[in-house]
């Protein structure tokens, strides 16, 4: 079970990019919904980019806000970073984001690493997506991992890094970057019966 996010980057709605979004230092903002290499935009949709080589994306992951659309730089680098303080020690958190490969045709596939570090650069945990293949239809997929904070409860840096080069491909959309605490695992069992049982919320089972 997941709690309220400590970090929640939704990219806002309409003309707002969201007050808690920090732009990536290595990228240039553009108002175009078809950014060129090394640029990004915050938008609620994109269509007919680069002769139709990109998917037309009509909405963000939730269907009612903006997302970050990136045409990756030729040099790998960070898409996102944020420092978090005063976390609970020995607590499990989920670091995740929703991602879409917007390229229709064959090309360089996005390849990201989610990383959690101490301020001195010591890596506390990381997860690699591997190459994210394109799909026939645009589809948001969530990537991320679970991480348990150490006992000394240091300040931590959340980082999403682009590993692939730019050029023909490595074009992607990101949405709903979250870092949120997890409750304990819940295991449900039913005793005294055999076979299958169908139940809905609030049903009282015999």
Question: What does the pLDDT read at residue 42?
Answer: 94
Of the given ranges (130-139, 146-155, 173-182), which has the lowest mean pLDDT?
A: 146-155
Average pLDDT over residues 43-72: 94
Q: How do 171-181 and 67-71 pair as beta strands?
A: antiparallel
Please tell me the predicted confidence (pLDDT) of residue 167. Answer: 81
Per DSSP (E only), the strands in the chain are 7-9, 28-29, 39-43, 67-71, 77-84, 92-101, 111-117, 123-131, 141-148, 156-162, 171-181
pLDDT value at position 142?
A: 97
pLDDT given at position 24:
85
Residue 206 pLDDT more than 60? Answer: no
Q: Is the pLDDT of residue 194 over 60?
A: yes
What angle (nearest 5°) sits at the alpha carbon of residue 140, between those of residues 54 and 46? 35
Q: Which residues pair with 39 in a beta bridge?
A: 28, 71
Question: Residue 195: pLDDT above 80?
Answer: no
77, HSE (Cβ side, Cα atoms, 13 Å): 15
């Amino acid at each position: 079970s997941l709690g309220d996010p400590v970090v929640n980057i939704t990219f806002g709605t309409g003309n707002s990019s969201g007050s808690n979004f920090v732009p990536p230092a290595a990228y240039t903002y553009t108002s175009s919904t078809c950014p060129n290499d090394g640029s990004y935009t915050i938008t609620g949709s994109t269509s007919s980019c680069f002769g139709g080589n990109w998917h037309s994306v009509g909405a963000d992951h939730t269907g009612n806000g903006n997302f970050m659309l990136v045409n990756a730089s030729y040099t790998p680098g960070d898409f996102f970073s944020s420092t978090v303080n005063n976390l609970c020690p020995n607590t499990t958190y989920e670091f995740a984001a929703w991602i879409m490969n917007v390229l229709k045709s064959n090309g360089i596939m996005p390849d990201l690493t989610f990383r959690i570090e101490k301020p001195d650069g010591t890596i506390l945990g990381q997860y690699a997506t591997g190459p994210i293949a394109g799909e026939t239809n645009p589809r948001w997929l969530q990537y991320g991992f679970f991480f348990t904070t150490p006992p000394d409860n240091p300040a931590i840096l959340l980082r999403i890094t682009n590993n692939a080069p730019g050029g023909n491909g490595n074009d992607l959309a990101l949405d709903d970057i979250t870092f949120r605490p997890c409750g304990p695992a819940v295991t449900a069992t039913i005793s005294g019966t055999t076979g299958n049982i169908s139940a809905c919320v609030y049903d009282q089972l015999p």
